[in-house]
Chains A and B, each alone.
Chain A
Amino acid sequence: MPDLSSNLAGIKSPNPFWLASAPPTNSGYQIMKAFDAGWGGAVWKTLGVPVVNVSSRYAAVNYRNTRMMGLNNIELITDRPLADNLREIEEVKKYFPEHAVIASLMVESKEQWHQIVKDVENAGCDGIELNFGCPHGMCERGMGSAVGQEPNVLKTIVGWVMEVATVPVIVKLTPNISDITVPALAAVEGGGNAISLINTIQSVIGVDLDTFVPYPVVDGKSTNGGYCGPAVKPIALNMVKNCAQHPDMNLPISGIGGIENWRDAAEHILLGATNVQVCTAVMHYGFGIIREILPGFERYMTEKGFNTMDDMIGKSVNNVKTWENLNLKYKVVASIDEKKCIECQLCYTACEDGAHQAIGLKEVGEGRVPYIIEENCVGCNLCSLVCPVEECITMVRRDDGTEHETWKEYMENDKAPTTFDDDRAGGKHHWVPAPADALKKKK
């Protein structure tokens, strides 16, 4: 059995699966229920200045028959009195001393920061998370993402907190910024102990086509909200990776964004997260999803021979390079397994209209299985992505593996191409049909 115990900047938890600061961590009742179900830690719903919430608050993107592929919210930080939250933090810690309880905070002035840090520490929290991410409402009041988007302000506030904090401090970043490593480095400079990301992404989910009001509707109007859920995972993974790779960003990372099952969690961790936090999936399915995450994750660790979390964290980080370091001599082409093909011709139309005209159809009567026109195939993967049959279109290697050249080397050796004679496609072998041939094709 692998050891799942986790340590983020000194905050220990029985496993790396935490609840993110959000409605599922609104109360001691919910957090105790979650711990009982198997979660290792929880970041309390952000505590801070008094707020008033609106009704309604959420909207979602449904993709085909999948509900809530992406969720958007216009909720603010906690609307429950601070004293109630503090009392409940204390109570939860009494029942679950081994589990991580993190207080998420968001206030304005230095004095307020000092006071609330002391308050939550007195209540017994194991760590503090600074919410510099909320992209609606709070930012209009100069908090949340308004801080996360201003590295200097962020650094200053982290500094204020560090003046009094005695437990580890996690700085939660907003993704609503062009380079995530800038606020991450500001967190380092401010003296923070860890970073967590991502908070929600600014979004408008859609528009009611009858009333012309976007969702969610509040008395005939709407506002931009924060986007999260399965749809945001790729964005989160990229940002986690960027932070993990930055040579000066030496803080551990708590990965957040689009985690629903053991695979999602494993991906965040392989790309450099020390632990992970989950919000939307719990809002969708309840705390019970930990039943799927834990055994799946454990089995994966066992299969890969990871005995501890440290064996696994960041395993993929070095496999992500900048584009200029990729091998330009590597060449794959698509190959169709005729036995598996179900003859939908989605690959054909995708490549024909959306890529490189590298898939052909046989004459009428010769069957519907398409064929690859190798000289035109650039190895883009598109057909294999649209093919509904697992392993039917595979990408097979065509170079012999002996050559390795990168754009960076071209640049360094003054070898930048001056003509369009790319060996793999585009120039030498690749042909593009004449424009008027388009009119001869059947529609």
Chain B
Amino acid sequence: MAEYTRPTSEKEVAQNFESIKPLMNPTMAHYESSRCLYCYDAPCVQACPTSIDIPLFIRQINTGNVDGAAQTIYDANYFGNACGKVCPTEVLCEGACVYNNQDVKPIEIGRLQSFATTKVQQENKHLYKAGAPNGKKVAIIGAGPAGISCACELRLHGYEVDIFEAKEQPSGLALYGCAPYKITNKEVLDEMAYLQDQFEYKVHYNYRIETAGQLAELEEKYDAIFLGIGLGNTNTFKLQGVDLENCTGATEFIEQIKLKPLTTAVGKRVIVIGGGNTAMDAASESARMGAEEVTLIYRRSKEDMGAYEFEYDLAKAVGVKGLFSAAPLAIVGKEKVEGVYLVKTKVEDGKVTNEEGSEFLLPCDMVILATGQQKQVTFLEQIEGLELDGKGRIKVDENTFQTTNPKYFASGDAVNGGAEVVNACGEAKKAAQAIHQTLSN
């Protein structure tokens, strides 16, 4: 795997995490947009959770109306550039493009989307203005894709919007989670600045809403409250040895890489436990950080993994090895991680069982647990009348995104249990429209 050596400068970080969807130049954008068929009731649009009018914006690029293209995109999705880069387009718009039926390369919709939105950002062309103040105020908890999208839409209608964000920067997991070879921090933050310039919502950073008292205050001061809090830290995992040094949660590890790549420690031999997209990201990123050997461990077969196939392909391409049908029994080591004790598994009647006698030790010096993120149950339980479903997700009306406490609305990961940036953006925009409707009645 010596493909990547440990980066020792910002430049090397950038090299190791080189973009997999680099910005198109105008010639590429012209040729690619020429290929789009302008389908009727286009499948790509149907596959987009924010229903961007894809044939329209592509045709607009093709006719030299790139600003108009950006407008078409932003009208549907405020994270236009981010989504163009981080969306799993292979299973969304591009996966639905009719060219697939002909075994022809689908239109590179994501990159065209980023082409148009990057242009207006770079030229600081403002497409929106906040609506005339309507005298109403909404508090938003969380400045992730859900919170920011909700804020933009509400500002259009003239609401005063205050966002309370626990962290130092906006965009939630788009910044703290999405893989750097998909989008750079600068790209994410540029779009955030571009939006805030136009919509002028207020964000209070380093401001976690934690206590019942704070909530009561918000309830009193604001006409509605939107919960865009996403999920929490990596799930705790009952496994012997998880407290050893060099055993870490995937989201925490990735956040480190995103914020401080040069000082993030990565083992020589890394084991990643999990079969979801975050596991693939953690494995890929470890490899690009210079780990010599990265093994992905999953209890079931490769086909059963929750991760998208292309995400696994990305990991494989940087040398990650998959070890399937194997479950961890314990992490071993004195103070630091020294290996993982594993057992082979088989599936019987849909249930995974361990194969007795097949235990073996896989040495390593780092373990990354990608076993899902927690729900913020303790925090949410403080809100009176707010119901969660059995999995800790906030229950909302599917059309209005109103929670069981009528003052609160919610969307994004905290409601859908963890999906993509684009889902959070689409749902939050609708939630904002519903808030507007509710408060206007």
Contact = CB atoms under 8 A, between A and B. Distances in A.
Interface of A: 65-66, 261-263, 285-286, 288-289, 291-292, 295-296, 299-300, 389-390
A262 B60 CA distance: 9
Interface string B62-83: 1111011001100000000000
A292 B61 CA distance: 10
Nearest to A296: B65
A287 to B, nearest CB: 10
Contact of B59 (A261, A286, A389, A390): A261
Contacts of A261: 59, 62-63
Contacts of A291: 53, 56
A292 B63 contact: yes
A263 B64 contact: yes
B40 A296 contact: no
A292 B59 contact: yes
Interface in B217-240: none
Nearest to B40: A286
Contact of A299 (B26, B40, B53, B67): B67
Contacts of B63: 261-263, 292, 296
B9 interface: no
B68 A296 contact: yes
A65 B65 contact: no
Interface of B: 26-27, 30, 34-35, 38, 40, 53, 56, 59-60, 62-65, 67-68, 71-72
B27 A285 contact: no
Contact of B35 (A65, A295, A296, A300): A65
Contact of A292 (B26, B30, B56, B67): B56
Contacts of A289: 38, 59
A295 B56 CA distance: 11
Contacts of A65: 35
Nearest to A300: B65
Contacts of B35: 65
Given A262-B65, A288-B40, A390-B26, 6 more contacts: A66-B34, A261-B59, A261-B63, A291-B56, A296-B63, A390-B27
Nearest to A264: B63
Contacts of A288: 38, 40
Residue among B30, B59, B64, B71 having the largest count of chain A Cβ atoms under 10 Å: B59
Contacts of A66: 34
Main secondary structure of the interface of B (DSSP, over half): helix
B27 A389 contact: yes
A299 B68 contact: yes
Nearest to A285: B38
A146 to B, nearest CB: 37
A202 B27 CA distance: 36
A295 B65 contact: yes
A295 B71 contact: yes
Contacts of A300: 65
A122 to B, nearest CB: 36
A84 B391 CA distance: 61
6 contacts: A263-B63, A289-B59, A292-B56, A292-B60, A295-B71, A390-B26
Residue among B34, B38, B68 having the largest count of chain A Cβ atoms under 10 Å: B68
Contacts of B27: 389-390
Ranked 4 nearest A-B pairs via Cβ: A296-B65, A261-B63, A292-B59, A295-B68
Contacts of A296: 60, 63, 65, 68
A285 B71 CA distance: 22
A276 to B, nearest CB: 15
A294 to B, nearest CB: 10
A285 B40 CA distance: 7
B56 to A, nearest CB: 5
A263 B65 CA distance: 10
A65 B59 CA distance: 16
Contacts of B64: 263
Contacts of B38: 285, 288-289
Nearest to B39: A285
A389 B26 CA distance: 10
